[in-house]
Amino acid sequence: MRLIKQLIAVVAVTVLGSVATSIVGGNGVAALVAGLITATLTLVVYRAVVRRTENRTVTEVSRTGAARSLGLGALIGISLFSLVIATIGLLGGYTVDGLGSPGALLGMLGFMAAVAVTEEVIFRGVLFRVIEERTGSWIAMAATGMVFGLMHLLNPNASLSGAIAIAVEAGFMLTAAYMATRRLWVPIGLHFGWNIAAGGIFSTEVSGANTPQGLLDATMSGPVLITGGDFGPEGSVFSIVVCMLAGAVFIWMAHCRGRILPPGGGRQTSEASQLVLRES
C-alpha cells in the first residue's frame, strides 16, 4: 500500500511539471524555472509521503552533503558521456559543424533536472527501494531496470534495442550508485550530467525523445551499433560498456560497505542500513 501511495504522490507532481513545461514551450528562462520547481517539489513531496507512510527519517534525501554528492554525480555523468561521444567521434560517427543553439541550453538545464529527479525518485527511491526490501538487491535491480527500459519505448524514436540498452545502462549503473551511497543525490547528479551532456552540450538524441539542438551543431552517422541510430548514443555499444564498467565500480563500493541486501529478510537489513546511515 505504501508503494502505491508514494507512487501516486510523486507521479502527480511529475504530471503537473510536464504540463507546466509544455505550456512554457521553448522559453529558456521559463523552462529552466519550471524544471527546477518540478524537481524541488518532487523531492519535497517524496520526503513528506515517505515520512508519513514509513514513519522514519528519510535519509536517502538528507540535506547533509547533498550539494557535494549532486556535483560529484553530475561530473561523473558528463565525463562518462564525453568518453562515449569521443570514442564514437574517433570512429567517424560524430562530427561538430559549429555552434548550435546556446540559448536552448538554459531551458534544457531545467528540463533535464526535472527528468533526473523525478525518474530517480520513482525508480530508485520508490520502486527499487521497496521491492529490494522483499526480494533483495539483485532481483529488485533486474525488475526495476527492465521497467525503466520498457518505459522508454514510449519515446517517438524508440527501438527495442535502445530500450534494452537503457535497461542495462541506467538500470545497472544508476541503481548501483544508489546502492553504494544509499542516497539519491549521486544517482540524480549522474542522471542529470549524462543527459545534459548528451542533449545540452553535444546535441545528440536522448533516448529517442526528439531532443532539441543544444550548444553544438553536430551530426551523427554510421552503423547503429556504434552511434545508436535514431535512439541516440545510449543505444551504442560503447554506452553499454562504459555504464557497465561504472556500475561495476559502484557495486564494488556497495559490497565493501555491506549495502547489498540478500534475498529474503531484506526489510530487516534495510532498517539496519538506515540506522548506519543516520549514525554516519
Q: How many domains does the chain have?
A: 1
pLDDT for 14 equals 81
Find the radius of gyration of the CA atoms of the chain: 18
Residues of the chain short of pLDDT 70, as ranges, are 20-27, 265-280
pLDDT for 274 equals 53
Rounded CA separation 58/47 (Å): 6
Given a contact cutoff of 8 angstroms between Cβ atoms, the answer to whether 43 and 61 are in contact is yes
Domain of 232, in residue numbers: 2-279
Rounded CA separation 134/137 (Å): 9
pLDDT for 100 equals 85
Instruction: Retrieve residue 187's grid coordinates.
Output: 544517482
Which residue type is seen at 139?
A: I
pLDDT for 267 equals 54
Rounded to two decimals, the pTM is 0.92
